[in-house]
Amino acid sequence: MAARTAASLTPRRRILGLAIRHVPAVARSLRGTPAAGTRVVRRSAGEQGLPLDIVVWTPPGHDRSATGSPVLVVLARHDGDWLPSTLAKDLRAVVVAMAPDDDAQALAGLSWIASHAAGWNGTPERLGILGDGPGADRALRITALARDGDGPAVLRLVLVSPSGDVPSAGSADRQGHGRDRLPDALVHVGAADPRIDHVVEGVAALKAAGTTARLIRIPRAEQGWLAYPAADPALARRSLDEIVAYLRRGLTEERAFGVGPA
């Protein structure tokens, strides 16, 4: 695994990775800037029963829209505004970012967002989730929990840099377990991620259970290309464009997503 990482990452990427982990000022400078024209509302836990802090991004001209927009929930620990704002602008969607402490809080947040989506001119029947890093694993878990607990129906799932862990095949009788009836999923993993073999196995397990899933390997990357887009703007843009195209087909155009071999 270490050999793959060393061979796949350029010297510049390795140096930037070290700087991001150890020099906070460098990390902040690489988070990117919000997409032009987007609007943001930050809401605190406790407002109208909101279980955690959220950040709501809407695209330019959203207030003048005559129809409901898709709703995308973003689970990520990083503080950058580039990812959710650019998703809102490019997808023409209501994008809600949150960083829950645990699965119960995440599921409560997802339910709250779905029930209040109309207030942002969003359509909860066109709901997707994107998770990055640990948020990817949580996104998969709460999608399964929502499926089993009469929670919001998630139409599309995007997992960026997941660990590869998937619900247990032999525990379908327990809430949040079982791999069946999961939504279509797009998985992005860095070609230099040391967990890539486990991610490949996890995607294969989802497919074997009937989930439509596509795995894309991001070249010259380990993790964090969407959290720190200024480190490699072209790479971040390529990944995001693929994500937007996938979500647009699934949430906006309402067409089946054709999936090729991973």
Strand pairing of 213-218 and 122-132? Answer: unpaired
Helix axes 134-148, 103-116, angle to 10 degrees: 70
CA distances from residue 29 to 26, 32, 144, 231 in whole angstroms, order as listed: 5, 7, 36, 9
Across the range 237-257, mean pLDDT stands at 85
Strand pairing of 39-43 and 69-75? Answer: unpaired
For the four alpha carbons of 144, 145, 150 and 154, in that order, the dihedral sign comes to negative
User: Is the pLDDT confidence value at 22 over 80?
Assistant: no
pLDDT digits (tens, 9 = 90+) for 28-52: 878 889 999 999 999 999 999 999 9
The pTM for the full model equals: 0.87
Share of the chain above pLDDT 70, in %: 82
Helix (H) or strand (E) run with residue 54 in it: strand 54-58
Distance in angstroms (rounded) separating the CA atoms of residues 98 and 77:
8
Phi, psi of 94 (to 5 degrees): -85, 120
Residue 63 is predicted with a pLDDT of 72
Q: Which domains does the chain have, with CATH numbers?
A: 2-252 (3.40.50.1820)
For the four alpha carbons of 121, 125, 130 and 131, in that order, the dihedral sign comes to positive
Residue 171 is given by DSSP the state G
Residue 259 is predicted with a pLDDT of 45
Closest C-alpha to 143, from 106, 95, 188: 106
User: Is the pLDDT confidence value at 89 over 80?
Assistant: yes
Residue 68 is predicted with a pLDDT of 83
User: Is the pLDDT confidence value at 2 over 80?
Assistant: no
Which residue type occupies 81?
Answer: D
pLDDT digits (tens, 9 = 90+) for 118-127: 999 999 999 9
Residues 6 or more apart whose Cβ sits within 8 Å of residue 42:
53, 54, 55, 56
- CA count, 13 A, side-chain hemisphere, 225: 27
Higher-confidence residue of 92 and 170: namely 92
User: Is the pLDDT confidence value at 15 over 80?
Assistant: no
Share of the chain above pLDDT 90, in %: 67
Phi, psi of 20 (to 5 degrees): -60, -40
User: Is the pLDDT confidence value at 226 over 50?
Assistant: yes
